[in-house]
Structure 1
Amino acid sequence: MTVSLDQLRRCHFAVDLGAARTRVYVKGAGLVVDQPSAAAVNTRTGALMAVGEFAEQMTGRTPSYIRVVRPVSGGTVVDIEMAQRMLRHLLGDPLRRSLRRKPRLRAAACTPHDADPLAQRAAIETLVGLGARRVELVDTLVAAAVGCGLPVEQPEASMIMVCGAAATQIAVLSLGNIVTAERVPVGGEAVDRAIVQHLRHEHALMLPSQSVRPLQVALSGNGLSPNGPASTEIQGRDVATGLARSVRIDTAAVRLAIQTPLTGVLDGIGKVLRDCPPDLVADLADRGIMMVGGSALLPGFDQMLRQATGMPVHIAERPDICAVQGLGAMLEGRIRPLNLDTLAA
């Protein structure tokens, strides 16, 4: 594990700061915050207008002096002060006061697998600003694997793919540690951009603001799979006239547009498997890949991976909250590591 389980059991709360959503787990209370990582700011006064769901709804619908910002990008805090302000409002005064009464308040946080020291420092400073005296960092891949029930502490291979908004992380784990891992800068946002560009170039249509998931609108039914609907109707703004217009688009063409960014994910899976010891790859032939993260729910994505790799592909029961659930399981002491005692000479 990235940090010892004994240290994590001493933590009082855990935070999963994602590019799309922020989740907070409090020891003994469970998941208390699950909101979009967004904040609306009055640029004239610097006052915070809204956070979470309400700020997300304001995206693209505000006057010029109100700006919706996202203090987290790709799992890394890019604006520490705004992340602290957002977290304070998401937690609320009663919960923050109860946490501050804890002696030597400790916190845990998820960080991407390849996070550099500056990114790790930003996560630590964000939680220190909330009153934490000590912050433990846990690799997102390990936390997500624990959260979806993979036996990561056993001497057998477990392959996990964390499908985030900004990036996809792929890893093989064994004995509680990462054997090999790869981060691909392709996530749900890249897929959304591919759909937006396709509609603009092929149909001269601009979709509404980014708060409307074009992916959910354009792909229905079986989504990426060929068995999905042949066409679907979508509404947007005409590029030339600026008027509202609806067009019927061919979903096969949309699937083709989506395939381009997703090939990077397939390349990442291939690299991880090539770098993995043969004995562990043999385990994966039967166990397959576990998909977690919000973008794992992309319609037909699992079927596409199944056809491309020839391996079983599974989606976790609650893929969007697996990482914070894994942190919570570590905080509550529900994980028992495999004890490997050093043999005497």
Structure 2
Amino acid sequence: MTVSLEQLRRCHVAVDLGAARTRVYVKGLGLVVDEPSVAAVNTRTGSLIAVGALAEQMTGRTPDYIRVARPVTGGTVIDIEMAQRMLRHLLGEKLRRQLRRKPRLRAAACTPHDSDPLAQRAAVETMVGLGARRVELVDTLIAAAVGCGLPVEQPTATMIMVCGAATTQIAVLSLGSIVSAARIPVGGDAIDHAVIQYLRQHHALMLPSQSVRPLQLALSGSGLTSKGPATTEIHGRDVATGLARSVRVDTAAVRQAIHAPLTAVLDGLGKILRDCPPDLVADLADCGIMMVGGSALLPGLDQMLRDATGVPVHIAERPDVCAVLGLGAMLDGKIEPMVLDPLAC
């Protein structure tokens, strides 16, 4: 998965296939697609009914013959054909016609850290289905670090945390490479699921898992901190009767339920720091941790990491699109590597 910047400069399109959203960057046009990674299919005819935001709105609201599919899980394509069809419709006929004019279309794609060969092959096959003659794979951690402006090519430590919907990836970078990294199977979906399970077990209340953000409803802006209202009113469906019901829940108890899945993230962060050389850890005490990804906007998560590690924690300016913007910067040739010439003996 090692690819040079010179190879990336020859690419025409960059794709970030995430579990929650799909983003496409075209050289010369910028970010052209930023839609949910969802497709709705008619199982009787096999035809595609909707993709993106419209398909996401259909989740849990469709008749039996319509299936809402998510072809990407944890940054890995699990349904290549559906991912290809989804991408083609998200790009649109006009943009696809423009890309087909390229004599040898080259594409770049983000892949999760330490992804297995099958996952890498699935990403390549998805891009080939769009007409790409050559596909370059870039580690999501490096692309996100470039996208949020970290000096990854310098001989200083930078720590990046990519908070996705299905996974959390953490790495320490230096000289343009990964020194130590880990991928934890806990993301924004696990946090939402923890809130849903808490309300079901303690209040016999069911919440829609896809159509609303139960975390935002439950915390009402107070986040993982103790500030904010002590109780919050939640609307849902009663488990026993099936009727609509409203309950007032203790936000402190909801915060405690959220801390359970985040414990794995804190453990992985501690392991990364323990495996790093002391000199790099000393650099991190000054520059801190940069958080990117859609789940990085979880209220109070940055403060929780500060309290657990004792180092500064920052959130990128546009955390949800850092990875694809980093790929786009590499495609446009905005990143120059640090050249290390061999010394003459």
TM-score of the superposition, structure 1-length normalised?
Answer: 0.99
* 1:173-212 matches, cutoff 5 A: 173-212=173-212
Superposed CA deviations along residues 182-223 of structure 1, whole A, max 9, x for unmatched, are 111100010011000000000000002422111121112231
Q: Which amino acid aligns with 1:234?
A: I
Q: Percent identity?
A: 82
Tell me which amino acid in the other structure corresponds to 1:277. P
**Is 1:100 paired with 2:100?**
yes
- 1:212-227 aligned at under 5 Å gives the runs 212-227=212-227
Structure 1 position 124 matched with structure 2 position 124: yes
Corresponding residue of 1:341: 341
Q: Provide the rounded CA distance (Å) in 1 between the counterparts of 2:147 and 2:222.
A: 27
State the partner residue of 2:262: 262
Q: Deviations over 1:26-82 (max 9, x none)?
A: 000000000000000011111100000000000000001101000000000000000
1-side partners of 2:305 and 2:66: how far apart? Answer: 41
Question: Match of 1:87, SS?
Answer: helix
Q: Distance in 1 between matches of 2:222 and 2:241?
A: 33
Provide the rounded CA distance (Å) in 2 between the counterparts of 1:212 and 1:45. Answer: 30
- The answer to whether the aligner puts 1:148 opposite 2:151 as a matched pair is no
Task: Determine if contact 2:16/2:110 at 8 Å carries over to the other structure.
Answer: yes
Q: Take 2:179 and 2:222, find their aligned partners in 1: how far apart are those partners?
A: 34
CA distance in 1, matches of 2:231, 2:125: 49
Instruction: Give the superposed CA RMSD.
Output: 0.8
Provide the secondary structure at the position in 1 that maps to 2:8: helix
Name the counterpart of 2:3: 3
Matches of 1:209 and 1:274, distance apart in 2: 36
Show structure 1 runs of 4+ deviating over 2 A: none
State the Cα deviation string for residues 256-282 of structure 1 (Å, max 9, x = none): 000000000000100101110100000
Provide the C-alpha distance between the structure 2 equivalents of 1:164 and 1:236, rounded to a whole number of angstroms. Answer: 26
Gaps of 5+ in 2: none
Hey, what's the Cα distance between the residues in 2 that align with 1:322 and 1:228? 30
Give the secondary-structure state (helix, strand or coil) at the position aligned to 2:64.
Answer: coil
Question: C-alpha distance in 2, partners of 1:209/1:313?
Answer: 30
- 2:310 is aligned with 1:300: no
Q: When the two structures are aligned, how many residues end up with a matched partner?
A: 345
Runs of 5+ consecutive residues of structure 1 not aligned to the other structure: none
- Check the 8 A contact 1:23/1:324 in 2, yes or no: yes
Amino acid in structure 2 at the alignment position of 1:291? M
2:86 aligned counterpart, secondary structure: helix
Is the Cα contact below 8 Å between 1:169 and 1:184 reproduced in 2? yes
Residue matched to 1:13: 13
User: Which amino acid in the other structure matches residue 162 of structure 1?
Assistant: V
**What is the correspondence of 1:22-41 to structure 2 with a 5 Å cutoff?**
22-41=22-41
Q: Deviations over 1:15-34 (max 9, x none)?
A: 00000000000000000000
Shift, 1:115, TM fit: 0.5
Asked if structure 1 preserves the Cα contact closer than 8 Å seen for 2:196 and 2:209, the reply is no
Give the conservation status (yes or no) of the 8 Å contact 1:220–1:299: no
Deviations 1:215-246 (A, max 9, x none): 12111223110113211111000000000001
Instruction: Find out whether 1:231 has 2:256 as its counterpart.
Output: no
1:139 match: 139
Residues 241-320 of structure 1: matches in 2 within 5 Å? Answer: 241-320=241-320
1:209–1:222 distance in 2 versus 1, CA, 3 Å: closer
1:79 aligns with 2:74: no
